Amino acid sequence: MPAAAEANRAEVFSWHFAPWPYLDESFEKKYESGWITIPNKEFDRKKARGLFQEYIDGLAHADEVGFDGVVLNEHHQNIYGLMPSPNILAAALTQRMKHGKIVVLGNLVPLHFRPLRVAEEYAMLDCMTDGRIIAGFAPGGGHEAFSYSYSMPLARERFWEGIDLIMQAWTKPGPTEFYGKHYQMRYVNPWPQPLQTPHPPVWVPGSNSEDTMYQAAKRGFC
């Protein structure tokens, strides 16, 4: 393919939610939802053996057949996505994927006591992939707020302030200080730093929120 055409080509990603695939026909009759309140006694440990390896194999295969990357995401206490920590799956994929990007869309920043930990883990992943990480951030949907018993309006404040802390950690030579409304840190000086400069590409899902679009555009994010 000519270089100009390659540059203008739309990228295609393989998105995986890592769901729980073993539901019998009585599921819808027994439970009102697959989120939050479904009893975890339905999690069969025997059937779970090898399940994540199967998902990793599938995502690695997407890389082998030419997808531009894979997409992972974070959800909690549900059967829809068994990925409370997508960074763990991303770390496993760094050892299997040789070409495509790994998109984590995204880490739920308000659930992290210190967003600096998110900055550190993404930097590790960027180093492990030789600069092929796309860093996604999200405040979480209503089900996440309900699941983790936190205020959604407060979460949005913590979300954007947490992202500003992460951007400082990636772009300002440390040690620096950060004193916000929700996060206060005497030392912002993370090792390692991401390989991509000034930082990995940042994606933020919008869910039709005008404020999210404004805030993302203001910061130059996708």
In tens, the pLDDT along 92-147 reads: 999 999 999 999 999 999 998 899 999 999 999 999 999 999 999 998 888 888 88
Indicate yes or no: pTM above 0.85: yes
Which run of H or of E encompasses 185? Answer: strand 184-188
How far apart are the C-alpha atoms of 201 and 126, rounded to whole Å? 11
| Positive or negative torsion for Cα 213, 144, 49, 117 | positive
For the chain, percent of residues with pLDDT exceeding 90: 80
The amino acid that residue 139 corresponds to is P
Q: Is 137 exposed, middle or buried (0-12, 13-18, 19+ CB in 10 A)?
A: buried
pLDDT value, residue 3: 61
pLDDT at 59 over 70: yes
Residue-wise pLDDT tens digits, 168-181: 999 999 999 999 99
Q: Is 51 exposed, middle or buried (0-12, 13-18, 19+ CB in 10 A)?
A: middle
Q: Are 123 and 220 in contact (CB under 8 A)?
A: no
Query: Which residues lie below 8 Å from residue 196, measured CB to CB, with a gap of 6+?
Result: 126, 131, 133
> Quick one: CA torsion of 15, 20, 24, 30, rounded to 10 degrees?
-110
Beta strands 176-179 and 184-188, pairing class: antiparallel
Return the pLDDT at 145: 84
Which residue ranges make up each domain of the chain? 11-213
DSSP character for 218?
Answer: H
CATH of domain 11-213: 3.20.20.30
Answer for the pair 188, 174: CB distance below 8 angstroms, yes or no. yes
